Chain A
Amino acid sequence: MKNLIDDGRPIFVQIAERIEDDIIEGGLPEEAQVPSTNQFAAFYKINPATAAKGVNLLVDEGILYKKRGIGMFVAEGARVKVIEKRKELFFEQYVITMIREAEKLGITTNQLTDMIQRGDNKR
């Protein structure tokens, strides 16, 4: 299971991302219960405190909520929220990086749009 976690980035961020992925892909629909931090710890072989930190990150963002004595659940509207967040991240991580790399290679914005078109057709 170790390969699910990559080194070099905080693990709690990665745990949060995994839960978000599940929410986007429908594995965790709204109002579904999220595995406990101990389950995360056992599955990914990580410290339970770290798993809790990842879950709490999503609680703070309103993506998960806590039912006292029962556990964590996916909040209403969580999927939309996660997708919005991911789009923002997509822009930062991929678009900006792409434009920067394009600049370096002397690719104009028009050429770049063409390339995206081409890539889309190839799919």
Chain B
Amino acid sequence: MKNVIEVTQLNKSYGKFNAIHDTSFTMQANKIYGLLGRNGAGKTTLMKMITAQIFPTSGDLKVFGDNPYENANILSKICFIKESQKYPDHYSILDVLEVSKSIFPNWDVNFSRLLIEDFKLPLKRKIKKLSRGMLSAVGIVIGLASRAPLTIFDEPYLGLDAVSRGLFYDRLMEDYVEHPRTVILSTHLIDEVSNLLEHILVIDNGKLILDQDAEELRGKAFTVTGQTSKVEAFLIGKETVYREPFGGLLSATVMCSQHGTDQKQAAASGLEISPVSLQQLIVHLTSGKSEQKGAIAE
């Protein structure tokens, strides 16, 4: 399959602070990616480099096969919706939509109107006077109606209630099925989107710590609970991502090498096995070892 994004040993530093550190990965066409991690982990910095809004300190970056910087052909295929998007002062929602229409080649006017109705957006109202949730909804409308071959949503739901977020996920999936494209969802509400994702990248402290098929990941981790000695014996030679002692018991989350065999082994030694959700797994992977967070570029 064709690679939409190829990132090789990418670095971005602000003075002594490494916002992105030696990161390499690829993204394939028409998949939905989850870019997950805590706030300040470097997600936005990474996406801003992919969309040529900021410049890498070093490393190689290819989007649709070439450097995106000042490349009209590539940039016209990208729509990047970020939480901090600024709009001109006097703009109304209608103004934003009209400009989007003339910029994005695949813009679907009817779809944008449907979305405006869905999210109950007042077309004539000035952007400045919108609530936080409405502002997020405007971003979502642009991101969906642009139908860009590479669509990136960076925490697009600030201020939106659960119903509106559900609406976003529904419309995204409906439209994705009919018009497949590469989608990157950057979020920390992992539980809400985990079922939508095909592939997951986790970034922590500027480093890529996980790059895996969502389905593989889902079956990979599980938690065992039992007497400390028994659990410790079981853990030997396994990748433990989290451990929590409780009285004489120990609860540990492990990544299994082969689905099934490890569980059987645990069951055989009388340990209790429970599944781990993606959210829990990623929280385990990204917590504990986090150092003092530096400033991240807006």
Interface residue ranges, A against B (CB under 8 Å):
2, 5-13, 38, 41-42, 44-50, 53, 97, 100, 104
How far is the CB of B220 from the nearest CB of chain A, in Å?
9
- Whether the Cβ atoms of B270 and A46 lie closer than 8 Å is no
Q: How far is the CA of A104 from the CA of B267 in the complex (A)?
A: 12
Which residues from chain B contact A9 at a C-beta distance below 8 Å? 218-219, 275
Q: Please report the C-alpha to C-alpha distance between residue A114 and residue B286 in the assembled complex, in whole angstroms.
A: 50
Chain B residues contacting A42 (CB-CB under 8 Å) are 173-174, 177
In this complex, the member of A7, A13, A41, A53 whose beta carbon has the largest number of chain B beta carbons within 10 angstroms is A7
Contact of B214 among A6, A50, A97 (CB under 8 A): A50
Stretch at the interface among B88-96, B143-151, B190-198: B190-198
Q: Is the interface of A mostly helix, strand, loop or mixed?
A: helix
A49 adjacent to B177 (CB under 8 Å): no
Among the interface residues B176, B215, B267, B277, which one has the most CB atoms of the partner chain A within 10 A? B215
Chain A residues lying within 8 Å of B279, measured Cβ to Cβ, are 7
Q: Name B177's contact: one of A41, A44, A100, A104 (CB within 8 Å).
A: A41
Q: What distance in Å separates the Cβ of B163 from its nearest Cβ neighbour in chain A?
A: 14
Indicate if the CB atoms of A97 and B267 lie closer than 8 Å: yes
Q: Of B32, B195, B218, B219, which contacts A45 at CB under 8 A?
A: B195
In the bound complex, CA of A12 to CA of B214 (Å) = 11
State the interface size on chain B (CB cutoff 8 A): 29
Q: Is the CB of A11 within 8 A of B215?
A: yes
Q: Nearest chain-B residue to A44 (Cβ)?
A: B195
For residue B107, CB closer than 8 A to chain A, the reply is no
Chain A residues with CB below 8 A from B126, complex form: none
B278: CB under 8 A from chain A? yes
Q: Does B80 make an interface contact (CB < 8 A)?
A: no
Given A38-B177, A42-B177 in contact, is the A8-B277 Cβ separation under 8 Å?
Answer: yes
A121 to B149, CA, bound (A): 62
Given A11-B195, A45-B173, A47-B32, A53 and B215 contact (CB-CB distance below 8 Å):
yes
Q: How far is the CA of A46 from the CA of B197 in the complex (A)?
A: 8
- Additional A-B contact list (20), CB under 8 Å, known A42-B174, A49-B198, A97-B267: A2-B195, A5-B195, A7-B218, A8-B274, A8-B275, A9-B219, A11-B195, A38-B177, A44-B195, A45-B169, A45-B195, A45-B196, A46-B195, A46-B196, A47-B32, A48-B177, A49-B31, A50-B198, A50-B215, A104-B270
User: Is B157 in contact with chain A by the CB < 8 A criterion?
Assistant: no
Closest B-chain residue to A103, C-beta based? B270
Q: Which residues of chain A have C-beta atoms less than 8 A from B222's C-beta?
A: 8
Contact with A along B32-73 (1 / 0, CB 8 A): 100000000000000000000000000000000000000000
Which residues of B sit under 8 angstroms from A13, Cβ to Cβ? 219
Per-position contact with A for B214-230: 1 when CB-CB < 8 Å, else 0? 11101100100000000
B278: A residues at CB distance < 8 A: 7
In the complex, chain B residues 164-181 whose Cβ is within 8 Å of any chain A Cβ = 169-170, 173-174, 176-177
Residue of B at shortest CB range from A7?
B277
Contacts of A38 in B (CB 8 A): 177
A7, B194: Cβ atoms under 8 Å? yes
Given known contacts A41-B173, A97-B267, A12 and B195 CB-to-CB distance under 8 angstroms: no
Q: CA of A67 to CA of B176 in the docked complex: distance in angstroms?
A: 24
Q: A7-B194, A48-B177, A49-B198 are in contact. Are A12 and B215 (CB under 8 A)?
A: yes
Is B276 engaged at the interface, CB distance under 8 Å to the other chain?
yes
Q: Which residues of B contact A104 (CB under 8 A)?
A: 270
Sorted nearest first, the 8 A-B pairs with minimum C-beta distance are A8-B275, A7-B277, A10-B219, A38-B177, A46-B195, A10-B215, A47-B198, A10-B218
